[in-house]
């Protein structure tokens, strides 16, 4: 669907905004909205229930995705912003996270963090629904980020934020633009959800293909036997079920001194969890010198070793297991497994560890600091299904072929979801700046239901 441009435009007088329709105005945000109007009083009763929204609960496209429930006594001291329908939350800290969202039909006692600026449209000046779109337009978000101060924790003052100019159409036109965007973004969001559901199903299928192959084999006619391992059940009768520690040996790692700059200008790859972004590691963010290896007591991990994330966000990590595509060193949050005998193929070991996710989850606990960690000693003692080397090769070959097809479909779905997200952002920016004229748009019969049935979150 394409829409015409407005007949005439004028210079907005704002360099980063460009031209706007001739009959529109451009005003500082503070002229059409207030901010941080309501604060939860310090005299609030300790047993007062509240629902607390923090920065991690806000997504630029999905809006408010959740909250945590507290009493006033147990809530974080940041839980002070009272939120009302029509408010727009803008994170004023860590602005690169793009945590901006409209508040739509909030539950009672929804409270935002003081890390947000709560923008409230002035009645008769700016439509609150349109405000939710205007403040999520790419040019506005980029302006917020660009004017934030600080490197590791960039922030912007709410007062400075409200000095930014926004385009102001006539009020009836604002309502029309908001209704148009409600309808069109809802359609795009539905398509994005379909792609994400497809990605989730493909991920499940991928896991199922691996798990079945490494625990049951690829010959459906093979006789089976009880493995003697509860989580494993039956395995092909000719397979062994040794302990992992009996067929491989493990190596740990460490971190050279950060105070020695010369340690970090070498050509020896140093793998940490942030590098685990593919099934085969061929390059790393950091490389260290031979002197760093010698002085730190690090060991070189052989080519084709299996690298495992053992501490950090292991449960959320996309690739907790990978194969080293070259000789590397590793940090203390990693372990490297090297087959101890020719009877175990590194490629099969990697596939096996990817396929026994239920066992991995059973071995995951929390450190003293609350981060996830793999209980290595327990994990290293588990029994694993082990076919003969030639069958390992056949399993790896067949599974990799199936995974290639699944990964191609997943990649296509991700590209489609990204394309739709970009289209969504472009449509919002075009509509709120008047690059397209939607005054002639006629709402379909179901358009009124779209905004009516939308709430702050579908996740809670």
Report the relative pairing of strands 58-59 and 63-64 from DSSP bridges.
antiparallel
Q: What is the pLDDT of residue 453?
A: 47
Stronger pLDDT, 383 or 314, i.e. the higher one: 383
Q: Is the pLDDT of residue 449 over 80?
A: no
Beta-bridged to residue 27, according to DSSP, are 166
Q: What is the pLDDT of residue 279?
A: 87
CB 324 within 8 A of CB 359: no
Question: How open is the CA angle 51-457-94, to the nearest 5 degrees?
Answer: 70
Could you tell me the pTM of the whole model?
0.81
CB 300 within 8 A of CB 330: no
Q: What is the pLDDT of residue 446?
A: 64
Q: Is the pLDDT of residue 110 over 60?
A: yes
The percentage of the chain sitting over the pLDDT mark of 90, rounded to a whole number, equals 80
pLDDT tens string 221-274: 999 999 999 889 999 999 999 999 999 999 999 999 999 999 999 999 999 999
Which residues lie closer than 8 Å to 445 by C-beta, 6 or more apart? none
Q: Rounded distance, CA 67 to CA 81, Å?
A: 14
Q: What is the pLDDT of residue 316?
A: 47
Q: Is the pLDDT of residue 315 over 50?
A: no
Q: What is the pLDDT of residue 459?
A: 40
Please compute the mean of the pLDDT values over residues 57-84 and round it to a whole number: 92
Mean pLDDT across the chain: 90
CATH of 242-384, one of 3.90.220.20, 1.10.1060.10, 1.10.10.10, 3.40.50.970: 3.90.220.20
What is each CA distance from 86 to 127, 133, 161, in whole angstroms?
Answer: 9, 11, 18
Q: Rounded distance, CA 431 to CA 228, Å?
A: 64
Q: How many CB atoms lie within 10 A of CB 340?
A: 12
Reported confidence tier of residue 340, pLDDT bands at 50, 70, 90: confident
Q: Rounded distance, CA 319 to CA 21, Å?
A: 49
Q: Which two tokens stand for residue 151?
A: 């490197």
Do 9-193+415-452 and 242-384 share a fold?
yes
Q: Is the pLDDT of residue 61 over 50?
A: yes
Best CA proximity match to 252, nearest among 311, 319, 189: 311
Please compute the mean of the pLDDT values over residues 332-348 and round it to a whole number: 91
Q: What is the pLDDT of residue 362?
A: 66
Q: What is the pLDDT of residue 460?
A: 42
Best CA proximity match to 89, nearest among 76, 69, 104: 104
Reported confidence tier of residue 15, pLDDT bands at 50, 70, 90: confident
Q: In terms of C-beta density within 10 A (0-12 exposed, 13-18 middle, 19 or more buried), how is residue 308 classed?
A: buried
**Which sequence spans correspond to the domains of the chain?**
9-193+415-452, 242-384
pLDDT tens string 116-139: 999 999 999 999 999 999 999 999
Q: Rounded distance, CA 322 to CA 272, Å?
A: 12
| 9-193+415-452 placed in CATH 3.40.640.10 | no
What is each CA distance from 206 to 201, 213, 278, 406, in whole angstroms?
Answer: 9, 11, 15, 7
Stronger pLDDT, 166 or 454, i.e. the higher one: 166
Q: Rounded distance, CA 314 to CA 450, Å?
A: 38
Best CA proximity match to 48, nearest among 37, 58, 40, 56: 40
Q: What is the pLDDT of residue 366?
A: 63
């Amino acid at each position: 669907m394409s829409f015409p441009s407005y007949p005439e435009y004028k210079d907005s007088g704002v360099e980063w905004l460009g031209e706007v329709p001739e009959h529109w105005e451009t005003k500082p945000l503070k002229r059409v909205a207030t901010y941080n109007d309501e604060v939860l009083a310090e005299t609030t009763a300790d047993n007062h229930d509240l629902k607390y929204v923090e920065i991690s609960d806000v997504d630029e496209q999905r809006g408010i995705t959740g909250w945590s429930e507290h009493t006033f006594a147990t809530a974080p001291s940041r839980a002070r912003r009272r939120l009302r329908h029509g408010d727009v939350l803008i994170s004023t800290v860590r602005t690169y996270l793009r945590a901006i969202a409209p508040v739509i039909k909030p539950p009672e006692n929804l409270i935002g963090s003081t890390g947000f600026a709560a923008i409230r449209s002035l009645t008769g000046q700016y439509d609150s629904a349109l405000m939710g779109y205007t403040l999520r337009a790419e040019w506005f978000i980029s302006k917020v980020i660009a004017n934030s101060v600080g490197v590791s924790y960039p922030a912007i003052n709410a007062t400075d934020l409200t000095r930014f100019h926004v385009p102001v159409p006539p009020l009836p036109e604002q309502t029309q633009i908001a209704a148009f965007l409600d309808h069109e973004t809802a359609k795009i969001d539905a398509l994005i959800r379909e792609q994400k559901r497809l990605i989730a199903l493909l991920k499940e299928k991928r896991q199922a293909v691996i798990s079945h192959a490494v625990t049951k084999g690829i010959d459906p006619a093979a006789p089976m036997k009880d493995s003697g391992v509860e989580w494993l059940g039956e395995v092909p009768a000719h397979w062994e079920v040794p302990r992992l520690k009996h067929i491989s040996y493990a190596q740990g790692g460490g971190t050279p001194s950060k105070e020695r700059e010369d340690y970090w200008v070498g050509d020896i790859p140093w793998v940490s969890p942030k590098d685990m972004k593919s099934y085969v590691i061929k390059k790393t963010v950091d490389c260290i010198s031979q002197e760093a290896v010698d002085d730190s007591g690090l060991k070189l991990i052989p080519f084709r070793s299996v690298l495992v994330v053992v501490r950090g966000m292991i449960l959320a990590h996309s690739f907790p297991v990978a194969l080293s595509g070259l000789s590397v060193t590793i940090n203390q949050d990693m372990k490297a497994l090297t087959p101890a005998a020719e009877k175990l193929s590194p490629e099969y070991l990697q596939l096996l560890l990817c396929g026994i996710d239920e066992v991995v989850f059973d071995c995951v606990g929390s450190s003293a600091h609350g981060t996830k960690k793999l209980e290595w000693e327990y994990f290293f003692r588990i029994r694993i299904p082990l076919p003969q080397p030639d069958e390992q090769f056949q399993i790896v070959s067949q599974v990799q072929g199936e995974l290639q097809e699944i990964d191609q479909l997943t990649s296509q779905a991700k590209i489609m979801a990204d394309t739709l997200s970009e289209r969504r952002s472009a449509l919002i920016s075009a509509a709120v700046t008047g690059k397209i004229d939607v005054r002639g748009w006629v709402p379909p019969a179901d358009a009124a239901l779209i905004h009516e049935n939308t709430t702050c979150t579908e996740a809670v």
